[in-house]
Amino acid sequence: MASALIAVSLLAAALAASTAQAPAALAPLPDFSGQRLQLWDWNAAFAPSQWSEPKLGGYDWRADHAVIRGGDLVLSVSERASGQVQAGAQASGLNAFWEVDVTLPNMRDGLVAAPLWTFNSKTNDEIDFEVVGLTGLQLTLWSSVGGRHTAVWSQTVIRGDLSGRRLRLGIAYEAGERVRFFVNGNLAADVTPADAPLGFPSTPQKPYFDLWVANGLHPDWAGFWTPLPRGVSLDMTLHGYRAGAVPAP
């Protein structure tokens, strides 16, 4: 047990150090040049969201809070709205590797930056990268347990305020068998069904990118949100994205 704790601590220290600068040693990801964000166009490579969700506490998804600017995808939170983009029309990834290159916004209590997460809306299988308020970078697996959407495994791999950090994040998904999380090219977690006995993602996944506000609904998790002044927004910038084959271990 002691050796396992030491290994986790060393990994956390290495990941924290790796966020001190942009992941310049990695080959650049394809940017968003030439892409269009057309509302309700589910046949496009990327589509913005525009609707309400209870978790947003009134900060609805708005398509105008997701824009492509100079090859970057910029998602924003304003005084009353949040930005989300979905990649691809259908959940189709059973064995895939998704990567993003992101610069995080100025983080604050109540703000959740999710630069890469995957989901199947029919089965509730979900895999998350989330920067949660000022607490750090959290990894989570979700599945359906007794008919309920349930977090079956979670770990915070970098703690503290990650405002303005540039990160390369990757999810390698092998349905029902293995999920690997990468940060700046480093393996951050390698999760198998043995680590999540209540359930494990096993169905096709579809990537999402979003920035949202917990707005008091989860203060014990994300902290208490203080509303932004009128005309002020917080931005998260995705410089590139790629979907490909699962890398070898």
Angstrom distance (rounded) from CA 178 to CA 171: 10
Q: Count Cβ atoms within 10 A of the Cβ of residue 161 and give its class: 0-12 exposed, 13-18 middle, 19 or more buried.
A: middle
| CA distance linking residue 122 with residue 8, whole number of Å | 34
- Encode pLDDT of 60-118 as tens digits: 999 999 999 999 999 999 999 999 999 976 667 799 999 999 999 999 999 999 999 99
- pTM comes to 0.92
Radius of gyration (C-alpha) of the chain in whole angstroms: 17
Band (pLDDT 50/70/90 cuts) for residue 4 is: very low
The dihedral over CA atoms of 62, 115, 100, 187, expressed in degrees to the nearest 10, equals -160
Distance CA 121, CA 135 (A): 27
pLDDT at 2: 41
CATH architecture of 2-244: Sandwich (2.60)
Of the candidates 155, 194, 193, 188, the one whose C-alpha atom is nearest the C-alpha of residue 175 is: 193
Name, in order, each residue with C-beta under 8 angstroms of 190's C-beta and a sequence gap of 6 or more. Answer: 178, 179, 180
Q: How far is CA 105 from CA 23, 41, 243, in A?
A: 17, 27, 24
Q: What is the pLDDT of residues 25-47, one digit of tens each?
A: 899 999 999 999 999 998 889 99
pLDDT reported for residue 54: 85
